[in-house]
Amino acid sequence: MTRSALALATALLPTVRSLALPPRLQHVFDLAVSCGNDVLSVADIGTDHGLLASELTKHFQSVIGVDKSEHALQGGALSRDNAGRNVDFRVGNGLQTLRRGEADVVCIAGMGVHTMCEILDPHSLETIDTQHLVLQPTNSRPKHLMLLYEFVEGHGWSVEDECILYTQGRWYITTRFDRSHPFSSYKRSSLPGSILTTKASMYPEFSNYKDHHVQWIGQDKRHTGKMSDADRRWLEILPRQ
């Protein structure tokens, strides 16, 4: 289905009530909105059926939902209440469908860290000139989060906020990164959880996350006789959190 056909299918739909976001996507929504009232456009990469993209139109003037699956996007256009909203579903891979200035914020959820790092190619981010990233990887083990934070901050971004949620037997850590000012002499720590330790409402769950993974890493080392460098670095910084 072409972009124009998706728009036409959406326009012909009767008005339906939007479904509430699940808690983990609510965290993505909240951190995107926290970027400020002067931030007007957002892209949801890997939007699937467009649930998050549809909700984002309640705050942003322009919303783009991108997914590799044309079938998923077609379902999103036909099931969301997008009539009269600035929402644009696009078939494509990662950031490739975005043009410069179209997305002040880029949200990515529901993917692994390695896939996220492939999408967050520094050249692509520079080309579209986005200023904020909201990322929620599916694999929240410390070694994966260390990789994500080090990759993103190593290319000129700083951690601005974090949320944590435990649901259905899994932790989700959602992080907002802002593009660093090129002349800034202050570089924020790239350690996962550095913001969560300062948030009274989030710290108890982060403490549960830490305790669980310290035990898990220890058991893994006893079974395999090895520990990843990223897990080792995370354990070294725990006393500071």
Q: How confident is the model at residue 3 (pLDDT cuts 50, 70, 90)?
A: very low
* pLDDT value at residue 70: 86
User: Radius of gyration (Cα) for the chain, nearest Å?
Assistant: 19
| Residue pLDDT, tens place only, 160-193 | 999 999 999 999 999 999 998 654 444 555 689 9
The reported pLDDT for the residue numbered 76 is 67
Q: Percent of the chain, pLDDT > 70?
A: 82
pLDDT tens column, 41-61? 999 999 998 889 999 999 999
State residue 71's pLDDT score. 82
The answer to whether the CB of 212 falls within 8 A of the CB of 173 is: no
Q: What is the DSSP string of 46-72?
A: T-TT-HHHHHHTTT-SEEEEEES-HHH
pLDDT at 44: 97
CA distances from 116 to 72, 94, 107, 112, 133 (A): 19, 9, 11, 6, 11
Q: Is 183 exposed, middle or buried (0-12, 13-18, 19+ CB in 10 A)?
A: exposed
Residue-wise pLDDT for 122-136, tens only, equals 999 999 999 999 999
Q: Using one digit for the tens of pLDDT, what is the confidence trace for 95-108?
A: 999 999 999 999 99
Amino acid 5: pLDDT:
43
**Rounded CA gap, 50 and 78, in Å?**
10
Residue 151 reports pLDDT greater than 90: yes
| Number of other residues whose CB lies within 10 A of the CB of residue 190 | 19
What pLDDT, on the 0 to 100 scale, is given for residue 19? 53
The Cα 163–Cα 122 span in angstroms is 24
CATH number of 3-138: 3.40.50.150
pLDDT confidence of residue 169:
94
Burial 1-14 (b: 16+ CB within 10 A, else e): beeeebbeebeeee
Q: How far apart are CA 106 and CA 54, in angstroms?
A: 15
